[in-house]
Structure 1
């Protein structure tokens, strides 16, 4: 009797179909995933994407199977519309998750093909910056689109969902709204990804601080200062304000060292010493160096040394090495020509000495007299 009642229940056939469809979908996911991973072993981008979407696909395929079962159920079945609605919401959420993971997987595959931990990593850093910024931007757009589609399934919220979806589709219009910093940063992120005024690991001088670009997010840039502090700047800063990029086209840099010496200092020994110091320094890249007198004051002459290095950090170390070497050389060989204040003239009378002395000294002498 109970068995007959159960078999006659209108929900029996849909539930039985659902119990069969879900395991079948999971089997398809398992076998299909193994086959696709094996076929894409030599395609790192697609392989990385498939690895990333395995988790979401485990939910998407059963939800698709369930939605097919509910759609095939009779229209007069009690609560079928609510079940279809809930299943549809879960499917949209899972599909959005899968799409975001797919974008991240493609980004991981692209980055794996362009490792940036090599000596000449200029091209790799370009790819790294573009990939990360575009992946985060695409993830944001997909998330907004998914939320909009879920809202549009509710009759009372369709207008709100349509508005959000339209905003995601014409987001370039929002760039003109200065009161929307989030969208402004989103557009700035796209500009940075395409034009690349900065890249990951670029050496910048911003707000008087020297550092490397450590991270570029969807809204801000993290600059690692030389003393391990972090400077956080919005993306729009690098579109609207000037800054120095020491590695824009190449990491090679020309460093300068300035020292001051008395006019009696011969230049030939200094040039020989500069050549010896630079050529023996491991930081020098072998491109160029020279020594020139670039300025002269009433007391000293300004001597400039130029030398090249393969990166900004090596250039800094090379400048310090050259500066220390020249100071040591002058202290050892020509100490008499180090900068000093000289006072020349014959013996002065007592009146001239008192006139040149501070007023407090004259007052003291008067009181003693």
Structure 2
């Protein structure tokens, strides 16, 4: 009985080889022309739309779809040519999941990029950061699942690997426990990444403070989050740490914040004029958004008092600059108008020596 999958039973018939090669070339050419025809029609339809997102999707899936058309064409020819099928079928079992995985991977990346483009048109920065974080985390999760499943299907098409997998499944009790224990950190990071995407304790672009370090969330991955500080340092923080420990999110709902400036003065300072000058100066600043301005005495000690000057701004960066300007101006005003309000600790050595000697 002829076994078409056994190379030892093959006999070289050059005429049949030539016919097979010609049929294969014609089939590939037809598949390529069909691919060009289909994409010409689809491209024309996408150009009629008002958005450029569908054109971007079509352009990105062009390559995997082209090779899928060719693979389908070769499969159809192999159905009627036993010797070609004997060669093609083992390769097809390996290539089919690879092509499907390539298409799925490209679609996920393309839809994520398309959603990013649509976000740039949004006028709500908070909603934009929220959706960008969800897109980043969920797309990476989907890509990880696609790659994992694709590689698994490709390996299962290899007989040796399939046999090994069957053998391992028979004694998978202890192996499952060992793998589960070893994969616990990775699973914890994966679950933490999904929790961040769904619950949104922070988002890409939020200003957070963790371990006394403040910075913008720059990238959210399944296993870690990158935070860029004001001096361009990058903090790499495990994703699970944001769920296990507390942190500060300064832009959870909006960028509007209220910040303080503290002044430590002599108890003899006149509070009324200081309050008037603070309110006058803050109201003249373009960075002040008009929400909050207040001067309160928060502490009183025998040798000093503490004044808290509160002000608000529309963004965190504006608030920082406003606080610096208020701090500089108020100290300059105190040096000019109330010099006795500034705390001094002086050691007059010459006068003390004169008193000691009775001079």
- Could you give the per-residue CA deviations for residues 16-73 of structure 1, whole angstroms, max 9, x where no partner exists? 3321221222222222223223323345554432222112222121112212222343
Any idea what SS the aligned residue of 2:279 has?
helix
Match of 1:28 in 2: 34
Bigger CA drift: 313-322 or 17-26?
17-26
Any idea what SS the aligned residue of 2:294 has?
strand
1:194 aligns with 2:198: yes
TM-score of the superposed pair, with normalisation by structure 2: 0.83
Match of 2:234 in 1: 230
1:90, distance to aligned residue in structure 2 (A):
2.2
1:95 aligns with 2:100: yes
Aligned partners of 1:205 and 1:42: how far apart in 2?
42
- Structure 1 residues 263, 201: CA separation in 2 closer, same or farther (over 3 Å shift)? same
1:57 aligns with 2:65: yes
1:255 aligns with 2:259: yes
Structure 2 unaligned residues grouped into runs of 5+: 1-12, 169-176
Aligned partners of 2:256 and 2:157: how far apart in 1?
57
Match of 1:320 in 2: 324
- Could you give the per-residue CA deviations for residues 210-252 of structure 1, whole angstroms, max 9, x where no partner exists? 1111112232211101111111112222222211111111111
1:337, distance to aligned residue in structure 2 (A):
1.4
Any idea what SS the aligned residue of 1:236 has?
helix
The total of aligned residue pairs comes to 332
Aligned partners of 2:40 and 2:291: how far apart in 1?
53
Match of 2:224 in 1: 220
Match of 1:365 in 2: none
Aligned partners of 2:285 and 2:182: how far apart in 1?
51
Match of 1:329 in 2: 333
1:263, distance to aligned residue in structure 2 (A):
2.0
Q: How does 1:170-209 map to 2 (within 5 A)?
A: 177=181, 179-209=183-213
Aligned partners of 2:246 and 2:304: how far apart in 1?
36
1:109 paired residue among 86, 107, 114: 114
1:17 aligns with 2:23: yes
Aligned partners of 1:134 and 1:111: how far apart in 2?
13
